[in-house]
Amino acid sequence: MAELAREFGAAAALELLTSFLKDSPPRLTGLRQLAAKADGPTLGCSAHALAGSCGIFGLETMRRLGLQLEDIAPAGESPERESLMAALEREFASIQPRMEELRRHLVDSATTESAKEEL
């Protein structure tokens, strides 16, 4: 996250993180619905997109789980889909408080950055 803020500025990092935190719960819900259906290609694309978003923030466990879900998506229904979905949901629940704290820190940094620009 610090790398992202250094490279693009706190305001851009804040925007990305805010979007991730807002979009992830509905994404996970959508993935769960797709995992229950026989739409492997859409599940695979959605899992890949989530994995990419997680990679931006260095969330390697979630990224890996998303890629595993993408890999098994074409195989159709399987108990492994349910297991991976449960693991993704647990992992998001575990990282969400830390990511919210980072977001609060970025709000402070972006505010400071903005104040400096006004000088």
The arithmetic mean of pLDDT across residues 16-32, rounded, is 96
Domain extent listing, the chain: 2-118
Coil, strand or helix at 105: helix
The arithmetic mean of pLDDT across residues 68-77, rounded, is 88
pLDDT at 78: 79
The arithmetic mean of pLDDT across residues 19-48, rounded, is 93
pLDDT at 9: 82
The arithmetic mean of pLDDT across residues 75-94, rounded, is 91
2-118 CATH, one of 2.60.40, 1.20.120, 3.30.460, 1.10.3470: 1.20.120
Whole-structure pTM value: 0.86
Q: What does the block give as tokens for 51?
A: 């994995």
pLDDT at 119: 36
What percent of the chain has a predicted confidence (pLDDT) above 90?
A: 63
Count helices and strands in the chain by DSSP H and E runs? 5, 0
C-alpha distance across the termini of the chain, in Å: 26
